[in-house]
């Protein structure tokens, strides 16, 4: 696979991950949940979003380090 294709795939995955964090963040900060059950359902999703973003950013850093991107 060429460098351009790797870069395109990495950019798409990064944008999707950032979009997911923003989407879940909307529900945490602006959509005030009434019941404690709703709140406890949202926070693990936010954790998954941040973990996925961290993994993507670490992967991008490693790919740049080894000059794949």
Whole-number pLDDT of residue 35: 79
pLDDT of residue 65: 92
**40 versus 52: which is more confidently predicted?**
52
Joined tokens for residue 5: 């294709």
User: Domain ranges in the chain?
Assistant: 3-65
C-alpha to C-alpha distances, 10 to 6, 25, 38, 64, 67, nearest whole angstrom: 6, 22, 33, 11, 13
> What pLDDT sits at residue 11?
93
Model pLDDT, residue 12: 95
Write down the pTM of the prediction: 0.77
The Cα 28–Cα 31 span in angstroms is 6
Q: What is the pLDDT of residues 4-40, one digit of tens each?
A: 888 899 899 999 999 999 988 887 778 776 778 887 8
Cα of 55 vs its chain's centroid, Å: 8
């Amino acid at each position: 696979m060429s460098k351009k294709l790797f870069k395109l795939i990495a950019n798409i995955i990064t944008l999707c991950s950032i979009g997911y964090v923003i989407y879940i963040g909307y529900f945490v900060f602006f959509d005030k949940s009434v019941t404690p059950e709703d709140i406890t359902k949202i926070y693990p999703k936010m954790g998954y979003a941040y973990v996925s973003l961290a993994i993507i950013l670490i992967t991008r850093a490693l790919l740049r380090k080894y000059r794949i991107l």
